[in-house]
Amino acid sequence: MQNAKDSFYMALRARLMAINPERTILLRGAVRPGILVEEAEAPFSQLPNDVFVLRWTGLATDVDLASAMAAEQCEITYQTCGTQSFGGLDRGRVLSAMDEELMAMLQPFYTPKLDYTATPAAAMLTQVFWDEPAFGPTAINRDRLGRSASVMVYSYQEPGE
């Protein structure tokens, strides 16, 4: 399932760069698109603001098909304090903008599966696909507004995976 997880993340990352190239994060001295995978980063004491954080939370398989299919739950969390120029009073608008960005990043609901252990990434035989997101309610944490969306990501297992 690692190839599917990597392909899903890289597709969302490329789509975010096209949708909003200004959404970035400075991480370990490098400016990157404002999306990251929690398990691939050092632990956070608090999630960063204005960034999409992917967290893989569950795994299921269906082996009764011609090829085994794996499904993994991805929780996408994000939060904002709003902008400094508005003193944070625009945090609802900023959260809504992030909701729209996430919906745009997830469409279309598929991407080619690639093996990122090779350089350049090698195309595999199948695609990664996912359901529509299920958005949670707005979470309020002091001066931050946040939300999480849950997406089930599917992939057929290929030989050697």
Q: What is the tens place of the pLDDT at every residue in 129-154?
A: 999 999 999 999 989 999 999 999 99
**What are the domain boundaries of the chain?**
2-156
**Is 2-156 CATH 3.40.50?**
no
The confidence score (pLDDT) of residue 89 equals 79
Distance CA 71, CA 124 (A): 17
pLDDT class of 22 with cuts at 50, 70, 90 = very high
Distance CA 88, CA 68 (A): 48
Instruction: State the distance between the two ends of the chain, measured CA to CA, in whole angstroms.
Output: 7
The confidence score (pLDDT) of residue 97 equals 96
Q: Which residues, in sequence order, are bridge partners of residue 40?
A: none
User: What pTM, to 2 d.p., does this model score?
Assistant: 0.93
Which H or E run includes 15? helix 2-19
